[in-house]
Structure 1
Amino acid sequence: MADFFDQLSDILFLDIETASQTEKFEELDPRLQEEWIKKELLIRMESQVELIPGSLYFDRAGIHAEFGQVICVGVGFFQTKKKDKKLIFRSKIFGDSDERELLLALKDLLNKKKWVLCAHNGKEFDFPYLCRRMLIQGIPLPEPLQIAGKKPWEVRHLDTMEMWKFGDYKHYTRLELLAAVFGIPTSKDGIDGSQVNSTFYHENDLEKIKKYCLRDVEVTARIYMAMHPQLDELEIEIAHSEDSKKDHKD
């Protein structure tokens, strides 16, 4: 139990929200427009549906790091009180219309400690997306995101979806489904992932997206704890979230 407490305090739970680089396809860099149309051709071949070039950009570009951007990152971690059998979950949101400033702020946090990163589907989405966008923005990768040259057991990345697979490579499980089976309150009050781009561009409501992102971080942390039922007797206290806005240097 003591070892688990020590390890738990090193885990940084993380969730990112992304949007297309521009609101309209026509506003995208011409070279990227050409590349997006090539990507759309593959989608058209798979769906066997005729599409107007660029018509999928608004709905699909945000999930591709080459055509999207990070608009907020939610993080959270547990502070442990062994004597009281209590865990305090503290969270913070990094949100900025300037992606580079957002990523620099996140980089500062990731470099402060030898974190173990944990996200739902993080190994296939959140972690590589952050790496790609940081490099595109000219930002050196913080140590927890550096995987080049490391042996698999040296990469400090956890993924709750991978944990739930138990070796079943074909199994994809949504965060909301795991929340439902474990009786964890949903994170989908207000908006869901399919509405992030329209909320960002059409409603200009980054605050709503931040709240949604932080709820996902908390749900991910609770799912991680649910996979360790020996800790059921522990009380979890949720601390107020902070909004990170400050100047950073490269």
Structure 2
Amino acid sequence: MLDKIRLENILFLDIETVPEEADFNALTAVKQKLFDLKTQYQRKEEYTPEEFYERAGIWAEFGKIICISVGYFIIKGDIRNFRVTSFYGEERKILVDFSNLLETHFNQPQHVLCGHNAKEFDFPYIARRMIINQVAIPNKLNLFGKKPWEVPHLDTLELWKFGDYKHYTSLKLLTNVLGIPSPKDDIDGSEVAHTYYLEKDIDRIIIYCEKDTIAVAQILLRLKRQDLLIPEEIIHI
């Protein structure tokens, strides 16, 4: 089935998220209590809600998107290019611009979205933040009424599981075992909030996000038994 999907019909993506505020104390008293309740089982007795807040970006109710990177193949004869670009800045604008891309260029039945662990994280996170920001959910993210085989999503983690639902493999581990250059050669996900709020270095985060997007494309090439991208084939726009 995977071999029947043309590379040109896939939009690869990755998102970076952070807590909605730089500091727990910036939340309203009500939001602080809700975060306490939401995370009580994850925290157990090891952390206070304030200490745990640095991880708030993993929940769409307490975090926000600061970057969406996308990549897609352009193949003409023997020439293959992979074009990468990013949406960043104010969250609502990120979501509107990303939605416009889907509705304008990736809106046909043959088009699919692809990420790593994206069915569990990226896709639902984007959809939830769109609702919060009052942005219309594009068809490719709106799963209401769709049968499982009608959902236009690929997930490299799911493909690697081969039906083993107990198994989780990180992007860093999977690129290692498949002989793909690691995208985690600078920061990792746990450092994004610090880089964003304290270092105020969005450019570093964009580079990190784009590397993850490229890595997802490389994994799919491996799964399709095709040659990996070389640097000359990757175009940042």
**What TM-score results when the alignment is normalised by the length of structure 1?**
0.87
- Residue aligning to 1:92: 85
| Structure 2: gaps (5+ residues) | none
What per-residue deviation string (whole Å, max 9, x for no partner) do you get for residues 92-141 of structure 1? 11111x11111111111011122300000000000000000000000010
Asked whether 1:77 is paired with 2:76, we answer no
In structure 2, the partner of 1:33 is: 32
Aligned equivalent of 2:17 = 18
What is the distance in 1 between the residues matched to 2:212 and 2:122?
A: 13
Q: 2:221 aligns with which of 219, 225, 236?
A: 225
Q: Report if the CA contact (8 A) 1:8-1:78 is conserved.
A: yes
Measure the CA separation in 2 of the matches of 1:101 and 1:138.
Answer: 11
Structure 1 residue 235: deviation in Å? 7.3
Q: Which runs of 4+ in 1 moved over 6 A?
A: 233-236
1:7 corresponding residue in structure 2: 6
Report Cα offsets for 1:8-66 as digits up to 9, x if no partner: 21100000000000001111133221100112322233xx43x33422112x1000000
Residues in 2 aligned to 1:128 and 1:142: alpha-carbon distance in whole angstroms: 12
AA aligned to 1:162 is E
Unaligned runs of 5+ in 1: 243-250
The Cα shift of 1:234 comes to: 8.6
- Structure 2 counterpart of 1:61: 56
| Paired residues of 1:87 and 1:237 also in contact (CA < 8 A) | no
Residue by residue, what CA displacement relative to the aligned partner does 1:185-229 show, whole Å, maximum 9, x if unpaired? 111122111100000001000000000000000010000000011
**Aligned 8 A contact 1:93 1:241 in 2:** no
2:195 — aligned with what? 199
SS of 1:111's partner is helix
CA RMSD of aligned residues (A): 1.8
Give me the whole-angstrom Cα distance separating, in 2, the residues matched to 1:94 and 1:233: 25
Q: Which amino acid counterpart does residue 175 of structure 1 have in structure 2?
A: L
By how many angstroms is 1:236 displaced? Answer: 8.0
Change (3 A) 1:194 1:163: same
Task: Determine the C-alpha separation between the residues in 2 that align with 1:225 and 1:177.
Answer: 16
TM-score after normalising by structure 2: 0.92
Q: Where do residues 117-132 of structure 1 align in structure 2 (5 Å cutoff)?
A: 117-132=113-128
CA distance in 2 between counterparts of 1:144 and 1:159 reads: 14
Question: Using the alignment, how far apart are the partners of 1:154 and 1:44 within structure 2?
Answer: 37
